[in-house]
Structures are given as structure tokens and as C-alpha cells.
Amino acid sequence: INVGISVSRVGGSAQIKSMKKVAGTLKLDQALYREMEAFSKFGGDLDAATKLVIDKGARNVEILKQPQYSPVPVEKQVAIIYLGTQGLIRDVPVRRVKEFEEQLLMELENKHPEVLAEFKKGGFSDDAVKKLTEVSNSLIPQFK
């Protein structure tokens, strides 16, 4: 999410359609994660739903990290944010999320550049999402 163009007076109208589609619930998901994470520090047993929120939020934090002065192209952001917000990387340990992301993006660039090209243009077709999910699912077992 590019905070520089996501100011209140501009809002989502400055983002491409594919980013709007995948990042729609991200802000709410992360707010819920922060709340649940803070609550969990007080101890006690957590129910399964709370654990899922915390696990998903921790992975989303990892996918949002990027090195300083190394912007990630929007089409790559769309791909990884989609997987995170949909909970499709829940089987990747948090400590290996960045490694998974690098491998996924390399695989998409080398073998399925049409998926990234579509995301870059703002598209988000069922075929592109299906291919992204297939590539992701094929890589996840390597990271368990």
C-alpha cells in the first residue's frame, strides 16, 4: 500500500484496480490483528478463531515489509498481498514468509509473466488468480 498516494483526500482513487481489489480488507484485518495480539499478551487460552487472526496478521506484516530504498513493483505487491489477505500462505511459517515471497515472485517472473503483466495493468481475472494460486500452492510444501 503506497501511503504517499493513500491520503484521505485522494483515497483509493489513486490506486490501480487490482490493488484496490486485493487490499480492500487489509487495513481492517491488520487492525483486528493488532487488537487480538495485544489481548493475547495478557495470557489465557486463545480460541481457534483468535489464533487464526493472529497467524494471518503476522504473515501480512511480513509481506508488507520491504527494504528501505527498494520499492516493490505494484504488480508484485498485488500478488503477495492477495495471497496474504486470503489466508493462502497460512502454512508458510512466519519466519520463512519473505523467502517464500522471493521464490514465488521469481517463479511468476520466469514462468508466468502474463500474471504480473495483468496485475500491473490493473486487471485481476479469474485465470490470473487461479495461476497465482497454483504457483503458490506448488511452492508452499518447500517452506513447511
Give how far Cα 47 sits from Cα of 3, 44, 53, 63, 78, Å.
33, 10, 10, 25, 31
Look at residue 20 in the predicted model and tell me its pLDDT.
87
Of 54, 53, 134, 65, residue with least CA distance to 99: 65
Residues 106, 80 contacting (CB under 8 angstroms): no
Collapsing DSSP to helix, strand or coil, 103 comes out as helix
Catalytic residue among 9, 34, 90, 96: 9
pTM of the model: 0.85
Query: Which class does domain 16-143 fall in?
Result: mainly alpha
Look at residue 7 in the predicted model and tell me its pLDDT.
47
Look at residue 3 in the predicted model and tell me its pLDDT.
47
95 in catalytic set = no
Look at residue 67 in the predicted model and tell me its pLDDT.
85
- pLDDT tens per residue across all 144 residues of the chain: 554 444 444 555 667 888 888 888 888 889 899 999 888 888 778 889 989 999 999 999 999 998 899 999 999 999 999 999 999 999 999 999 999 999 999 999 999 999 999 999 999 999 999 999 999 999 999 998
Residues 37, 94 contacting (CB under 8 angstroms): no
Give how far Cα 35 sits from Cα of 4, 32, 46, 60, Å.
25, 5, 13, 15
